[in-house]
Amino acid sequence: MYGWMGKILDINLTTGDIHAINTERFVPKYIGARGIAARIAWESIPFGIDAFDPENRLMFMVGPFVGTPVPNGNRSYVFGVAPQAYPKPVYSRSSFGGNWGAELKFAGYDGIVICGKSENPAYLWIDDGGVEIKDASDIWGLDTHSTQRVLMRKHGNDARTVTIGPAGENLVRISVILTETKSSAGQGGFGAAMGSKKLKAITVHGTKGVKIAHPRELMKLREEVANLVRPKKEEPEPDHVQLGWVKFPAGTTYRIRRAHNPCVGCVSDCYAWSQFLVGVPCKVQPNTISGQIQCQALMMMTWGTSKSKHAAETSGRDTWINQGVEGGFETVMLANKYGLNIWELCVGIQLWLILCRFKGVFLGEELNNFNQDDPEFWQSLWRKITYREGIGNILAEGAVRAADILGGKRFLRHIAWGQSEHGAGRGAWDFFEFPKWIVGALLWATDNRDPFSDTGHKYAVLSSWPNIRERLTIAKKIYETEEAVLPLQEEITEGDVKEDQMMQAYRGKAQAAIWHQNRGAVIGSLPLCDAVFPLIISEHTPNGDGDKSLESKLFAAVTGVTITEAQLDQRGEMIFNLERAIAIRNGRTRQDDESIVPFFKEPDWTKGISIDESRFTKLLDEYYVLRGWDVQKGWPLKQKLYQLDLKDVADSLEEMNHLPAQTIDRRGLAR
Amino acid sequence: MTKTKRAWVFEQRKNRRIVIQPELCSGCRTCELVCALYHEGESNPSLSRIHVKRDFFEAEYIPVTCLQCKYPPCYYACPVDGALIIDKNTGSKVIIEEKCTGCGTCARICPYNEKDKIIRYNPQKTKCFKCDLCGGNPQCVKACRWMALKYE
C-alpha cells in the first residue's frame, strides 16, 4: 500500500490489550485521519457518553501524507468526545503539528485508538512496531517540557513525545496535548480526556519508511506549491522584527529566529508570525526561557482592538493586555508547560474578566481587582487553574461553565460547543467585518468545534483579498456565486446598512460554508495544513488564482489512487455527514445549531451590525436544503446518506427514529 | 590492497560539495525525506544520506552530510576493490552498492561520522551508504525552501 502504513493500533488501557486494526478496512474510502476516526467513532463510541467515561475513545490519527515530503502535509489529529464541550457531550477534533505524526508513521502505524482507563499513571512507548504500556509514576506531575526531556533521555534523542501537563492530569477542561515547545491539540480540551485515562504521554520512534506511488510527480507538485506560497518580499533581518502587532525593542539581549520549528515538510512561513525566541529573560522567575510563539500567544502577551471603535467602547481601552515581550512570553510559556489551551485562556478567560470588570460585573474579589498588564497576576491565575486551587477550581471547568457559577455570561466570548470566539467579529477576530462573519456564523452553527482553525481560514483570506476584481472572480469560480463575498466590506458604512446590502449579505453564504466544510473534511483527512490549503488564492499568479485541485493531485501522487477534485470533495461531504450522524445520535438537532444566534445579536465590533435573525433562519434553511438535510430537524435525509455511500449509517439512524422521511428532488435539493 | 590510491590525482579534479548554512535551517527535515525517496524509493529518514541534528527546545538545527573531503580517509580505508570510488564529474565519494560488503571500515574511519549519521549502515541490505551528490543534481538542495543548503 502506498501512503498508508496498513495498521492502526487499538489499545485498551483497562485490560492492557493491544492489537492492530487493518487500515485497508477504511481506505481509500475514508481517506485518512478525520474520515477513519469518524468511522471508528461511529462504530465504537457508545451514544451520549461523557468525555471522562472510560468507554470514550481518544484517537490519534495521521493520514497518507504524514511522513512524506508533501508540502505542509504533516499534521496529526486527535479525536474523541471533547471534555470542553458544553452543554452536552460533542464528538470533536483538534490537530497539532511537529514531528510526532511522522515518527508514528515511521514506526508503522496510521493511528492509535485508546479506550479504557489505566489504574496507575502510564505512558505508551512505541518503537518500530513494538508497543509497551509503561509505568509513568515518575513523570506524573511533570510539566510538558520536562516530560519530553525525561522521555528523550530514556528513549533516545530521535524519539518524539506527545504529552499532557499537570492541567490535563487534573482534568482541567481547557487543557491540551502538547508536543515540542508549543505544538498542541488545544480546542476540545483533549488533555483532560488523556488525563482521565491516566495516560501521561505517548513516545514514538520508528525507522520504517512511507512508500510513495509517484515520487517524481510529488516533487514537481511540491515545487509548485512552494512557488505559490513563497513570501512576497525578501525576508527581513532576523533581529528586531515586528512580531504581528508586537514591536520588539532594538538591542534585545535575546535572539529571534524566524520560522523555526516547523512541521515536517513545511514550505510556508508558518502562518501568522511564528517566531522562535531564544534566551528571553523572565520577569517573574529569575530565569531565561526559549520557545516558539504564534498568533494566539501574541494575544496573551500584548493584545488590543485592531481598529474597532466599538470594541474600545465595550472594553474601555484600546489595549486590553500589555504584559510586554519578556513578561508576556513567560506567561505564554508557563501556559504551554502547564498544558493549558492558550486560545481559551486568552479569548475565553482574559477577555471575559476584562470586560466584566469594565462593565462592573462582580465575579469575586480576586477576579475584579487585578492589573491586566502584570504578568505575575496571570501566571498565578494559570497556576491556580492548573492545580485547581481556590477560584482556579471553577475556572478550570472552562470559561462558559465558570460563568454559569460566577455570572457575567453576557460578556463571555463563548459561541458554542464550549469554545470561544473565532471568526465572528466580536472578540478575537474583531477585524472580521460584516458580512464575512455571516459565513462564520453558519460554520459555527453546523460544525462540532471552532471551525476557524481547520475550515474557515481561507474564506477569511479570500473575503479580505485587497484586489476586489480578483476577489469576485475567484469567489465566482469556487463557490459558483460571487455573492459569497458580497456586499463588499469596503462599501458598508458604519451603523448604516442599506436594505439591498442587507439582503445580499444573506445570499450565497451557504454555498461558501458548504464548500469550505467539505474541503475542510478532506484537508483534515489527508491531512494538510489549513494555513496553505485549500490554495485558492495566491500573490504570485497574474489573476490571483491558486490551484484548488492540488489536493487531488497530491493524493494521486502519494497513494496512486486516481481521483478527481469533485470525487474528493464528495468524500469530504461524506465525512462531514458521518460526523453529523454521530452528533445526531447524541441528540443534535436544529435547535442546537441555532444556539449560536444570541451571540451574534450583539453588535459586531467594527461597524456595530447585529445578525438579522429571520434572515439568518432563512439562510440556515437554504444551507440544509443544499446539504440535502431536513429543514425542521437539521438531519441528513435517507437519500442523501445513500447517495454518499453511507447506507449502514442511514439504516441505523432509521432504527433510532433519527432519519426524516423526505426526499431529494432531481437537483439534489431537499424538499 | 591491489589498487594504488594516490592523493595528487584529486588535486586536478573537480571536488564539489553541499555547503550547509545551519543558521538558515528551519528544521523541516524535507532534505532527509527527499533524499531517501530519491535513493531508496521510500520516505524514510533512517535511510537518508543527510541528517538534521535537532534540538527543538533551543531551535538548533544542524544538517550534516558528507563533506566530500579532498583527501578522503574512507576512500583510502576501503578494503574492497572498487567498492568506494570517486565520481569523475563531481568528485563525490560513492559507495557502489553491488560491491560493498558492509564491513563498516569507511564509517569507522570517517572523522566526522558522529553517531554514524554521515556514512550509515542499512541493516536490511547489509550495505553502507553515503551521500553521492545524486550524480551532480543534489535533490536536497533543490528541495530546501529555506536555502540552507547550497551546491558548490
Here the ipTM equals 0.91
Yes or no, beta carbons of A208 and B43 under 8 Å apart = no
Closest Cβ–Cβ partner in A69, A208, A215 for B41: A215
B64 and chain A in contact, CB less than 8 A: no
Interface test with B, best of A68, A254, A261 (most B CBs within 10 A): A261
A573 contacts: CB under 8 Å, gap ≥ 6 = A518, A521, A644
Interface test with B, best of A266, A268, A287, A559 (most B CBs within 10 A): A266
CB A121 within 8 A of CB A137: yes
User: Which of chain A's residues have a Cβ under 8 Å away from the Cβ of B47?
Assistant: 209
User: Which of chain B's residues have a Cβ under 8 Å away from the Cβ of A262?
Assistant: 26-28
User: Which of chain A's residues have a Cβ under 8 Å away from the Cβ of B42?
Assistant: 209-212
For CA atoms A641, A647, A652, A657, the dihedral sign is positive
By the 10 Å C-beta count (0-12 exposed, 13-18 middle, 19+ buried), B111 is classed as exposed
Query: β-pairing, A302-304 with A319-322?
Result: antiparallel
B137 and chain A in contact, CB less than 8 A: no
Closest Cβ–Cβ partner in A98, A209, A266 for B43: A209
A292 and chain B in contact, CB less than 8 A: yes
CB A74 within 8 A of CB A532: no
- The predicted structure's pLDDT at residue B8: 46
Q: How many CB atoms lie under 10 A from the CB of residue A410?
A: 12
B33 and chain A in contact, CB less than 8 A: yes
Distance from CA of B122 to the nearest CA of A (A): 11
Closest Cβ–Cβ partner in B54, B58, B143 for A290: B58
Cell digits of residue A73: 502535509
Residue A455: C-alpha distances to residues A269, A404, B134 (Å): 19, 29, 40
Closest CA to A268 of A222, A236, A218: A222
Closest CA to A199 of A9, A344, A476, A389: A9
Closest Cβ–Cβ partner in B28, B40, B42 for A265: B28
Q: How far apart are CA A291 and CA B125, in angstroms?
A: 40
For the cut 70, the answer to whether the pLDDT of residue B3 exceeds it is: no
Q: How many CB atoms lie under 10 A from the CB of residue A614?
A: 9
Query: What are the strands, taking DSSP E only, across A155-266?
Result: 160-163, 177-179, 183-185, 199-205, 210-211, 242-243, 246-247, 255-258
Which residue, chain included where needed, has cell 512557488? A227
B26 and chain A in contact, CB less than 8 A: yes
A73 and chain B in contact, CB less than 8 A: no
Q: How many CB pairs under 8 A join A and B?
A: 92
The DSSP call for residue A344 is I
Closest CA to A40 of A107, A111, A105: A111
For residue B2, name the pLDDT band (cuts at 50, 70, 90).
very low
- Looking at chain B from residue 92 to 111, which residues have their Cβ under 8 Å from any Cβ of chain A? none
Yes or no, beta carbons of B43 and A257 under 8 Å apart = no
Q: What percent of chain B has pLDDT over 70?
A: 91
Yes or no, beta carbons of A278 and B59 under 8 Å apart = yes
Q: How far apart are CA B83 and CA B3, in angstroms?
A: 12
Distance from CA of A547 to the nearest CA of B (A): 20
Q: How far apart are CA A452 and CA A517, in angstroms?
A: 11
User: Which of chain B's residues have a Cβ under 8 Å away from the Cβ of A98?
Assistant: 56
User: Which of chain B's residues have a Cβ under 8 Å away from the Cβ of A226?
Assistant: 145
CA-based nearest residue in chain B for residue A66: B43
A134 and chain B in contact, CB less than 8 A: no
SS3 A256: strand
- Looking at chain A from residue 156 to 195, which residues have their Cβ under 8 Å from any Cβ of chain B? 157, 180-181
User: Which of chain A's residues have a Cβ under 8 Å away from the Cβ of B26?
Assistant: 259-262, 266
- The predicted structure's pLDDT at residue A241: 56
User: Which of chain A's residues have a Cβ under 8 Å away from the Cβ of B46?
Assistant: 106, 207, 209
User: Which of chain A's residues have a Cβ under 8 Å away from the Cβ of B58?
Assistant: 278, 290
Omega before residue A534 within 30° of 0, cis: yes
A101 contacts: CB under 8 Å, gap ≥ 6 = A62, A66, A67, A74, A75, A76, A264
Residue length of chain B = 152
Yes or no, beta carbons of B27 and A208 under 8 Å apart = no
Read off the pTM: 0.93
Distance from CA of B111 to the nearest CA of A (A): 22
For the cut 50, the answer to whether the pLDDT of residue B1 exceeds it is: no
User: At residue A439, what is the residue type?
Assistant: V
User: Which of chain A's residues have a Cβ under 8 Å away from the Cβ of B38?
Assistant: 215
B29 and chain A in contact, CB less than 8 A: yes
For the cut 90, the answer to whether the pLDDT of residue B6 exceeds it is: no
What does A336-370 look like in DSSP terms, one character per residue?
Answer: HHHTB-HHIIIIIIIHHHHHHHHTT----HHHHS-
Q: How far apart are CA A507 and CA A55, in angstroms?
A: 43
A274 and chain B in contact, CB less than 8 A: no
A207 and chain B in contact, CB less than 8 A: yes
A544 contacts: CB under 8 Å, gap ≥ 6 = A465, A467, A470, A474, A537, A538
Yes or no, beta carbons of B28 and A67 under 8 Å apart = no
Mean pLDDT in residue range B31-52: 93
Averaged in consecutive runs of 10 residues, what is the pLDDT profile of chain A (671 residues)? 94 95 93 94 93 95 94 93 92 93 95 96 94 95 95 94 96 95 91 96 95 93 88 57 62 66 81 73 85 82 69 66 86 94 92 88 88 92 95 94 92 92 83 88 94 89 91 93 88 83 92 95 93 89 90 95 94 96 93 94 87 94 93 91 93 90 62 54
Closest Cβ–Cβ partner in B27, B40, B143 for A261: B27
- Rg of chain A over Cα atoms, rounded to whole angstroms, equals 24
User: Which of chain B's residues have a Cβ under 8 Å away from the Cβ of A152?
Assistant: none
Closest Cβ–Cβ partner in A69, A226, A259 for B34: A69
Residue length of chain A = 671
User: Which of chain B's residues have a Cβ under 8 Å away from the Cβ of A267?
Assistant: 145
Cell digits of residue B81: 576493490
Q: pLDDT tens-digit profile of B44-88?
A: 999 999 999 988 888 888 999 999 988 899 999 999 988 999 988
Distance from CA of B144 to the nearest CA of A (A): 9
CB A469 within 8 A of CB A481: no
User: Which of chain A's residues have a Cβ under 8 Å away from the Cβ of B56?
Assistant: 98-99, 180-181, 261
Yes or no, beta carbons of A290 and B57 under 8 Å apart = yes
B24 and chain A in contact, CB less than 8 A: no
